[in-house]
Amino acid sequence: MPGLSAASRQSDEELCRSNLRDIVMAFQHYATDYAGYYPGFFKTSGKNRTWSRILVTDTNYLLGPAVLSCPANPSPDGAARRKTASAIWDFCCYGLYAGDISADNWDYGKRVRGTLGNFARGAVFSESYTLKPELMKQPAQTVFLADNAKSTGSHSPNSYFAPRAFYQESAVNTLHENRANSVTADGAITARSAAELADTALQFSAFVNGNFEKEELAR
């Protein structure tokens, strides 16, 4: 049984990384067609469009919603929603970096845009929000996509993360033996511990482990 459990964990992590590779390719294809921008959040005709919905149902850069959810996601409704296109907003457990340029007191305004580049465009959950990786000064160290999840609520898991958030739904989730699969702007996929996330350019200070016990890394 221990051997089977370890094999299952390894299988989940490998599938997670495969999912992320497909998503990265979709982001890159989207950027090629849209002046180098990655999809983020848009409001179209009164309807909210998250990056996941844009890539799957609006543009078809991803052929189905299944790859948007990590198989290790412990959200109680995650597995059931994983294959349901109409539930993309609810089940997506990979989070996109959310840096709000409209609020100078957010981490993006206070620290990120000055040191790492002003690469975010628009305000998250406003009329439009997107990222332009070519404006990042440290793309190989700037995480823009990662394992992310929320334990409860109608939007479980979440589609965005903030590296210094203090609430569960926007913290990166270390789903894989206390590591989170994360993607930097150069396309590299790496499993990182909380300490390793803290050493990236975004300097993560908040994360959630697979049991949703919130932890904050002291800095």
Phi, psi dihedrals of residue 131, rounded to the nearest 5°: -125, 145
Separation between Cα atoms, residue 217 and residue 100, nearest integer Å: 22
Q: What is the pTM of this model?
A: 0.86
Q: pLDDT tens string for the chain (219 positions)? A: 555 466 667 888 899 999 999 999 999 999 999 999 999 888 777 677 889 888 988 888 988 777 887 888 766 555 555 555 555 555 567 889 988 676 666 788 888 988 999 999 887 777 888 999 999 999 999 999 999 865 444 444 578 888 876 556 677 888 888 899 999 999 999 999 988 998 999 988 877 765 544 444 443
